């Protein structure tokens, strides 16, 4: 990076090729969103969801030509804890005739945080499936920890096994275990041990199952070129350029510095699991696409499969590969006569479209058009 304004190029695989999309900086205080008072920045799961719904209502009132179009909510990572809450609130309001002009049809979630225990406990099984830990260690930790790998453990043998697993995973890139082990945009306390000296796996994942890897501030001053987070430095300089902000119509003086993920944002984590929301939305007939990059150890696909299984949905399309051209792009299972779809993205990380944009656009296009993957 030479200090100049980073140059943008068109993304040939943007999902806007398949749908009109509103990108929302939420909760308030993230991205370019702002509040004129401290009270407006105080937020949590339910406030986040309610404000997002209010924004959507106001936007559709201002743009009524879009109100009759099919609407799908979407997000990835921690959005998995919020999108189902918003969707259910829309569903309940629609049924009670309290809301008009929102034609919700379903939602799309990528590597979604969903259930703190399931997401956290699945990391050990994932590590074993990726040949990161041995058969012997895996069998031992299952017995000593009795399948519970998060939280504080008083069992010394369990703590010993978890520490052995931490040694095996500490130098891996958790968003994609196949990526190089690059320096992360996180503080020292978010590395191997927390302030109490607990290991990575032993650290409680509730209330935020992926908080440890989302405590970002500004970018590293000198990230290694070729590392995936090198782009964070470029984005930081681009988004904080005055001419860029003017072009984006950002109100002058509303934010001091654009930060990719502000760890100082006051936020109350109120929901430990949204599995029941998925169950109720499915019973109401809303469509869902849940997809997972299969090399993500932050929210492993194994945990996602576990909570989907707990819904007890009827399989309507058996596990099979889905293709892009002559290549296998991942695997897919359909449930409830196709209304609920789970797909993996082969080789993908925590944000799968970042790794395989062509394949993920094909997946989204087919699903949004109600075609088989």
Catalytic residues: 77, 296, 350
H-assigned helices in the chain: 38-41, 45-62, 83-95, 116-129, 135-145, 156-169, 230-239, 242-247, 275-283, 301-310, 352-355, 357-368
Query: Which residues are paired to 335 by β-bridges?
Result: 315, 340
Phi, psi of 341 (to 5 degrees): -125, 130
CA distance 53 to 74: 13
Structure tokens at 317: 């399309």
CA distance 96 to 102: 13
Count of CB atoms situated within 10 Å of the CB of 73: 22
> Which stretch of DSSP H or E encloses residue 332?
strand 327-335
Spatial contact of 337 and 285, defined as CB atoms under 8 Å apart: no
Phi, psi of 327 (to 5 degrees): -110, 145
Q: Which residues of 248-277 are buried (b: 16+ CB within 10 A; e: fewer)?
A: eebeeeebeebbbbbeeeebeeebbbbbeb
Cα 38 to the center of its chain, rounded Å = 27
CA distance 105 to 88: 12
């Amino acid at each position: 990076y030479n200090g100049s304004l980073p140059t943008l190029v068109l993304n040939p695989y943007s999902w806007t090729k398949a749908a009109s999309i509103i990108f929302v900086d939420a909760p308030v205080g993230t991205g370019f969103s702002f509040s004129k008072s401290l009270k407006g920045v105080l937020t949590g799961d339910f406030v986040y969801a309610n404000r997002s719904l209010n924004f959507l209502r106001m936007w559709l009132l201002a743009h009524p030509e879009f109100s009759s179009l099919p609407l799908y909510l979407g997000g990835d990572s921690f959005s998995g804890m919020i999108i189902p809450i918003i969707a259910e609130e829309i569903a309940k309001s629609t049924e009670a005739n309290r809301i008009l002009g929102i034609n919700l049809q379903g939602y799309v979630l990528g590597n979604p945080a969903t259930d703190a225990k399931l997401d956290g406990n699945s990391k050990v099984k994932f590590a074993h499936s990726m040949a990161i830990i041995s058969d012997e260690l895996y069998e031992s930790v299952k017995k000593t920890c009795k399948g519970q790998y998060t939280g504080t453990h008083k069992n010394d043998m369990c703590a010993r096994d978890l520490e052995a697993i931490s040694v095996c995973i500490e130098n891996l890139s958790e968003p994609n275990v196949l990526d190089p082990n690059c320096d992360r945009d996180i503080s020292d306390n978010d590395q191997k041990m927390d302030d109490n000296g607990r290991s990575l796996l032993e650290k409680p994942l509730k209330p935020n199952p992926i908080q440890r890897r989302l405590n970002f501030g500004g970018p590293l001053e000198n990230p290694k070129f070729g590392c995936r987070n090198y782009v964070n430095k470029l984005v930081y300089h681009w988004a904080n350029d005055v001419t860029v902000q003017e072009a984006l119509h950002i109100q002058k003086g509303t934010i001091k510095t654009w930060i990719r993920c502000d760890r100082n944002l006051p936020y109350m984590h109120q929901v430990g699991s949204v599995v029941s929301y998925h169950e109720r939305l499915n019973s109401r007939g809303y469509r869902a696409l849940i997809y997972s990059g299969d090399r993500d150890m932050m929210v492993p696909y194994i945990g996602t499969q576990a909570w989907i299984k707990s819904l007890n949905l009827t399989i309507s399309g058996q596990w099979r590969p889905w293709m892009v051209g002559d290549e296998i792009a991942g695997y897919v299972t359909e449930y409830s006569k196709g209304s609920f779809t789970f797909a993996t993205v082969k080789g993908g990380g925590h944000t799968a479209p970042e790794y395989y944009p062509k394949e993920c656009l094909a997946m989204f296009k087919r699903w949004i058009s109600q075609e088989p993957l």
